[in-house]
Structure 1
């Protein structure tokens, strides 16, 4: 009887000792995790936590912490990229505002000091002032539109939209400039009406931006193309040209804020660098996407994809 009692006591002591070691090991592991998390908070360090343990609950906790750290790292990277992009955008906006404003100020000073200036010369200068002022207004409107879209302040009311009409109307709006440049139009449209759930004003702006860019940068290919197609789920609009296109290494950058091709900085091809960014944001609000494929002097295509609406 005494032997049995002593055995039970020994077993209980062994169990208590094992439990003590387990608690001590868990406490050490928790302290390690706590210190690592404190480093992340204080130093902004990133990376996964590595811990060898047989404790199932600690393993689950470790997996969840590492998922949280991954999400934290992604947010930091996104925030850093956003800051760099915003800094670049502000620098470019400042430059693009300063240049026309300086020109406007120069013209005004010439007009003010030119007491005996010829009337035709005065009209010419006033025309230049007006043109430069329109450039400034256009840039500022684009800047504020993008700010509203990215802040979520601008919500789009979605309704049933006839894409055939949108494509026709926007192509017709460029008819005069297309004729002036001597471009051939390749316009492919289905006979039956195609509908999407979208916003007419936003879709007009999307098509206007894409057609304007195709004419501005691709007119050396002497053709402007627009194709409307569909499948069971989606409606696709291709706007294309056969101009000089966009280098492969730059194709992933065209939808970033203030990205412009080098030649777009001259007066003939000047752009704000916000058009494609705004286009992408508008499409995202309509559950759409936009993609680019470019082979210089063969075919450069911007493809808009929107969910099809069937009635």
Structure 2
């Protein structure tokens, strides 16, 4: 709640003194003006016949006094605003020296209030950017920590097995081939992580651009179903495509959108334990296209739903590579959806886990 600026006793005394002084100054000016227009005997007449003069010119005297009181009042108001400015200056100096300056919650003259409101807006923007920078720095630290963790494990294995070969600590060629095969698989894990990191950094970059083309979303989902049909059969799963209407024309970067749905389908393969079906559904509405990738596998715990799009987040308790994921697939998908001006969300219950994306038609 905004509070009016309060003056201390000294400042109130100064205002009162200046108001009385201004009024007395006007009286002196009256005498001076009268003497200037040839009525120098006014004071003498006033001393002897003051009651008659006041009776004959009462309304004139009252008008002059009222005008002088009004002028004195405006003089005091002007001085009050001057004191307000002085206090505001002091408050601004105090705010400028703080790490996170707080908005100035004071009520002043409407002209000064515009300045205060503008300064508060500046403070809000500065604080917001400061918090964003702090969050960004924290995010970078977490990124370095996660990358270091995910690279260290396979790199240790690569160095360990190649070290055995280098030190000739093997029995036969079969053992050498075993060591090199493990080192090769671990190298692929690191390559996959580095590629995902590069893709994530690229899509997060402010200058990342879209190669917009007109395409049929229903046809894209049909193509994705064909691409993953063999993998789905190996896992005992069926991919079902539904589109309403049968042809949905929209604009977007087909390469990046293909990557979005590729990641979502791979996510269903890796984490949809026990799933028998994957549904790819597209629905055209008035101004948007809603695309859903769903599976009927194991549900995502409620406490994990808010974090599935976080970098390096995995739903499983351990950070093992059992699923072969880098923890960046959904973060990349979310970033690419945002690039298209869309949104993506997840819902999960015992029957179905659904990733729902909303895209503007244009």
Instruction: Tell me the TM-score normalised to structure 2 length.
Output: 0.75
1:165 aligns with 2:219: yes
Cα displacement (A) at 1:128: 2.2
Q: Distance in 2 between matches of 1:164 and 1:12?
A: 78
Name the structure 2 match of 1:90.
144
1:50 aligns with 2:50: no
Name the structure 2 match of 1:307.
360
Cα displacement (A) at 1:229: 1.6
- Greater shift, 17-26 or 280-289, is seen at 17-26
Cα displacement (A) at 1:214: 0.9
SS of the residue corresponding to residue 302 of structure 1 reads: strand
What are structure 1's unaligned runs of at least 5 residues? none
1:24 aligns with 2:82: yes
SS of the residue corresponding to residue 44 of structure 1 reads: coil
1:240 aligns with 2:298: no
1:7-37, CA deviations, whole angstroms, 9 ceiling, x for partnerless residues?
4894476146414422333323422442243
Q: Which runs of 4+ in 1 moved over 6 A?
A: none
1:35 aligns with 2:122: no
Q: Distance in 2 between matches of 1:237 and 1:228?
A: 4
SS of the residue corresponding to residue 326 of structure 2 reads: coil
Cα distance change, pair 163–179 in 1 and its aligned pair in 2 (3 A): same
1:66-85, CA deviations, whole angstroms, 9 ceiling, x for partnerless residues?
22322223222222222222
- 1:210-229 to structure 2, matched below 5 A, reads 210-229=264-283
Q: Distance in 2 between matches of 1:144 and 1:292?
A: 25
The count of residues paired between Structure 1 and Structure 2 equals 304
Contact 1:265–1:271 (Cα < 8 Å) also in 2: no
Q: Distance in 2 between matches of 1:273 and 1:292?
A: 16
Contact 1:156–1:199 (Cα < 8 Å) also in 2: yes
Cα distance change, pair 117–163 in 1 and its aligned pair in 2 (3 A): farther
1:104-128, CA deviations, whole angstroms, 9 ceiling, x for partnerless residues?
1112122334476444443333232
Instruction: Tell me the TM-score normalised to structure 1 length.
Output: 0.87
What are structure 2's unaligned runs of at least 5 residues? 1-33, 35-41, 43-59
Cα distance change, pair 306–156 in 1 and its aligned pair in 2 (3 A): same
Larger Rg: 2
Cα displacement (A) at 1:148: 2.4
Q: Distance in 2 between matches of 1:299 and 1:95?
A: 32
SS of the residue corresponding to residue 261 of structure 1 reads: coil
What is the Cα-based RMSD across aligned positions, in Å?
A: 2.6
Cα displacement (A) at 1:184: 3.2
SS of the residue corresponding to residue 267 of structure 1 reads: coil
Name the structure 2 match of 1:202.
256
Contact 2:245–2:283 (Cα < 8 Å) also in 1: no
Q: Distance in 1 between matches of 2:245 and 2:284?
A: 12
